[in-house]
Amino acid sequence: MNERPLACALTLLLVFSPATLAATEADALREELDAQRKRIEQLEQRMERLTEEGRLVPTEVTAQQAEQPADRLEIGGAARFNLFYNDFDDAGDDKYGDSAFELFRLNVDGQKGGFTFSAEYRWYPYTETIHHAWGGYALSETSELRVGVNRVPFGLLPYASHTYWFGLPYYVGLGDDHDLGAKYLYREGPWDLQLAFYKNGEWGNAADPGRYAPDVVRTGCDPDAGNLANCNEDSNQFNARLAYTLGQNGACPTEVGLSGQWGQLHNIATGDNGSRWAVAAHMDARCGRWNFQLQAGRQVLDPDNPPGVSDDTVQFGLLEATYDLASRANLGVANIAYNFPVPWEPIDSLTCYHDFSVYLKDESGFQDSRLNTTGCAVGAAPIFAYLDWINAENAPFFSVADPFVRGASGSDNRLNLNVGFYF
Amino acid sequence: MGKRIRIQRLRRSALVLAAPLVAALLQPAAAADLNVVSWGGVYMKSQILGAVRPFEDTTGKSVEVLSYNGGLEEVRAQVYSYNVKWDVIDIELGDALRGCEEGLFVEVDHDDLPPSPDGVPAREDFLPGTLTECAVGSVIWTTVLGYRAGSFGDDPPDSVEDFFDIDQYPGHRGMRRTPKRNLEWALIADGVPADKVYEVLATPAGQDRAFETLSRIKPLLVWWDTGIESIRNLRNGDVRLSTVWSGRAWEADTHRGAELELIWNHQIWSVDLWAVLKHGRRQDLAMDFLRFATSTETLARQTQYIPYGPARRSAEALVPEAMLAYLPTAESHMAAGALEFDAEFWSRHFDRINHRFQRWLERPVRVPEYLPR
């Protein structure tokens, strides 16, 4: 029953009544008025309570109510393990492969007022590192600003692969890279624009390769001791990514986009700045249960090295490892995936894929790099597993010592089962 | 100046004398004589104005009306514990049949129901299928497809097939979060004739076919639970097409300027019924209400407030002319391939199919963008 209008109507009716009645003291009248106002407030509160309990159906939810985000804090994480067999590693032949703890990670995500935040920290057997840690603020319904260690907007997002092993874009610093800076995101309808500026890599200390995603690192550089090689580091990087989704609300939404990146390569031996730039065109189509991803791009690293130090390669580092990367190359990605309808009760999802990526180096004496991964990802909460057959030509973490430089002919194979417990 | 002072005195005097009256009127309501449970929104409003208030006026008993979103869960909890707070409930046919089988409702003597004004016994006056062992039909209601007028230009959708055609009519779809009716429409969209829908849906292959068809639009589905959500989603532009209860759509059109267009093609109509819960302490009064609420006069009165078809033939002639165009039972609407909701089918299959439906809801169709890394 709607009591508020009734109360108001009665009060108004009585106030304007023409009845001639004896006057009383003004204070008493005020007290009575106050009492009635309080009673009306109580009834309004009761009505609100009934509405909240669902006993009165609100005719409309105001825009403010609908848009007010609730504060939240979510803590999660994962522990993951690998079971693998490398055909290039004789040590595993007689014992049918090896197993190894891969990582433990902790995630904290939340929202307070108009701010959002997200952070992930990872512990590996060989290092520990930040994955991301940023705070965000919604500037409008369609735009947001994120500051901190966040994903660099370049190429296929969020990943240019379907497997936990990633494709070559990750290893050349152009996929799932995370750096320290500010990113502006604008999304309206089919349009998606991201602009970003990064002062440097996620750790700040470019001498330390213990980081989640590859950056240019200067491990081993010591000008005072005469070690002038590998003295470059990423600095003052700008990114722009513009994408448009064709058929956004149809059966086959297809995002097409262009990405550009430009930054300085600061050399601490010379004190001068070289440059690093990359561009890419990309397409990501999700047609029913199929997913097709394509990306073509180019990366050029133009360091300003001291005399006698070659400009043909630049040192990259991740997860305590370092490797040299050819300074000029074209990058290609072609991925296909299918999400199977699963008839088995415990299985939440089954996605199988073939990911292919290539890094075609300009230098004639350098062998190209290729990575082919065929596998399936199986989800059965809280467990998620990737079973991959990885075929690699001149890719890091296989048998070739300088995969992104001269390389070698032939390929390596790895059979990998990655099992994670997610909470 | 003197006139102003006099008016102020008059106001104050009136207020002082009237204060006790106002206070009495605004006292918290005492516990009602009867608790009636229904679906909220404009449908509840039609029952309050058409049945509840006239019942209160006639009997002098007070009735509190509570809202719920269907199902038997709360009914079971109350009846099994003998802690019955809901005396009378408005319920879907499938739940009425299941609830009766489970012993949740009091059996109704059909001979004890009021005849039509011209003396036709209730057994003959009620439409086929609207009288059950434990529940008595009140209205024929329906679920149809709707969209905002003008949102599709010169070639708007006009069929169930169009609802599932996201190539020709791209955009998000709204559906009620239940397998009921959604699977029927999925089969129709996949080419199953309306009169064969339940026959096909009874087979595992038919269910696979329905789920696969539903999967085609799953990435674009926005689920609603209450009628007002379905309308709000359409009005906000969150969805371009949605399944809607026709009564809610009528209310949004006529009272809120929603400008919705309804697609009557293969509407799925059903019956809502009144039932009395077992083990309540006010069963006699509850049964009085049930008889009153299903009388010809009450059912006709209810159609002044919502365009749902009365369950009694004798009430059809009393439906206001303005409502005829919205009635599910209108000749043109029934001729557009109307499908009668098979409550008995769902009574038998709901648990199993709903289990699969809930799992299907959790599983993605498209390759997920965020496989965990």
| Alpha-carbon distance B33 to nearest alpha carbon in chain A (angstroms) | 16
Whether residues B16 and A32 touch (CB distance < 8 A) is answered with: yes
Helix (H) or strand (E) holding A145: strand A143-151
Q: What is the C-alpha to C-alpha distance for residues B249 and B230, in angstroms, rounded to an integer?
A: 9
CB proximity B14 to A under 8 Å: yes
Lookup: tokens for A109: 């995500």
Q: What is the pLDDT of residues A124-175, one digit of tens each?
A: 999 999 999 999 999 998 999 999 999 999 999 999 999 999 999 999 999 9
Q: Which residues are paired to A332 by β-bridges?
A: A296, A358
If you average pLDDT over every residue of chain A, what do you get?
A: 88
Lookup: tokens for A316: 């990259």
Chain B interface, best mutation among A3, A8, A13, A14, by max B CB count within 10 A: A14
| A contacts of B18 (beta carbons < 8 Å) | 10, 14, 17
The predicted model scores a pTM of 0.75
Whether residues B170 and A249 touch (CB distance < 8 A) is answered with: yes
CB proximity B225 to A under 8 Å: no
Lookup: tokens for B203: 């087979």
Per-residue model confidence (pLDDT) at position B31: 83
Q: What is the C-alpha to C-alpha distance for residues B57 and B65, in angstroms, rounded to an integer?
A: 15
List, in order, residues 6 or more apart from A88 with CB less than 8 Å away.
A398, A399, A412, A413
| B contacts of A32 (beta carbons < 8 Å) | 15-16, 19
CB proximity B70 to A under 8 Å: no
Whether residues B13 and A289 touch (CB distance < 8 A) is answered with: no
Of the candidates B112, B103, B157, the one whose C-alpha atom is nearest the C-alpha of residue B134 is B103
Per-residue model confidence (pLDDT) at position B303: 94
Q: What is the pLDDT of residues A234-290, one digit of tens each?
A: 999 999 999 999 998 888 999 999 999 999 999 999 999 999 999 999 999 999 999
Per-residue model confidence (pLDDT) at position B255: 83
CB proximity B371 to A under 8 Å: yes
Amino acid at B70: G
What is the rounded (10 degree) CA torsion for B154, B156, B159, B164?
130
Q: What is the pLDDT of residues A314-358, one digit of tens each?
A: 999 999 999 999 999 999 999 999 999 988 888 999 999 999 999
Of the candidates B93, B85, B101, the one whose C-alpha atom is nearest the C-alpha of residue B131 is B93
- A423 within 8 A of A95, measured Cβ to Cβ: no
- Cβ pairs A/B, distance under 8 A: 141
ipTM above 0.85, yes or no: no
| Helix B343-362 × helix B204-217 angle, to 10° | 50
CB proximity B216 to A under 8 Å: yes
Per-residue model confidence (pLDDT) at position A89: 87
Give yes or no for a cis peptide into B121 (omega within 30° of 0): no
Higher pLDDT, A19 or B306: B306
Per-residue model confidence (pLDDT) at position A381: 86
Per-residue model confidence (pLDDT) at position A1: 39
Closest residue in chain B to residue A58, using alpha carbons only: B41
Lookup: tokens for B230: 């379905």
CB proximity B234 to A under 8 Å: no
pLDDT tens for chain B, 373 residues long, are 344 445 455 455 444 445 544 444 444 445 899 999 998 888 999 999 999 999 999 999 999 999 998 889 999 999 999 999 999 999 999 899 999 999 999 999 999 999 999 999 999 999 988 999 999 999 999 999 999 999 999 999 999 999 999 999 999 999 999 999 999 999 999 999 999 999 999 999 999 999 999 999 999 999 999 888 999 999 988 999 999 999 889 989 888 888 999 999 999 999 999 999 999 999 999 999 999 999 999 999 999 999 999 999 999 889 988 888 889 988 899 999 999 999 889 888 999 999 999 999 989 999 998 899 8
Q: pLDDT-based confidence at A96, cuts 50/70/90?
A: confident
Of the candidates A100, A178, A115, the one whose C-alpha atom is nearest the C-alpha of residue A145 is A115
CB proximity A63 to B under 8 Å: no
Q: Is the pLDDT of residue A12 over 60?
A: no
Q: What is the C-alpha to C-alpha distance for residues B46 and B248, in angstroms, rounded to an integer?
A: 11
Give burial (CB, 10 Å; 0-12/13-18/19+) of A9: exposed
Per-residue model confidence (pLDDT) at position A90: 83
Give ∠ CA B47-B51-B54 in degrees, rounded to 5.
Answer: 135
Whether residues A61 and B14 touch (CB distance < 8 A) is answered with: no
| Alpha-carbon distance A302 to nearest alpha carbon in chain B (angstroms) | 32
| A contacts of B25 (beta carbons < 8 Å) | 6-7, 10
| Alpha-carbon distance A24 to nearest alpha carbon in chain B (angstroms) | 7
Whether residues B367 and A159 touch (CB distance < 8 A) is answered with: no
CB proximity B368 to A under 8 Å: yes
| B contacts of A16 (beta carbons < 8 Å) | 11
Closest residue in chain A to residue B167, using alpha carbons only: A250
| A contacts of B14 (beta carbons < 8 Å) | 14-15, 17, 19, 21
Closest residue in chain A to residue B63, using alpha carbons only: A1
Q: pLDDT-based confidence at A53, cuts 50/70/90?
A: very low
Of the candidates A402, A400, A318, the one whose C-alpha atom is nearest the C-alpha of residue A363 is A402
Per-residue model confidence (pLDDT) at position A51: 46
Lookup: tokens for A104: 């433990």
Per-residue model confidence (pLDDT) at position A37: 62
Per-residue model confidence (pLDDT) at position A33: 66
Higher pLDDT, B8 or A181: A181
Q: What is the C-alpha to C-alpha distance for residues B220 and B172, in angstroms, rounded to an integer?
A: 5
Q: Which residues are paired to B224 by β-bridges?
A: B176
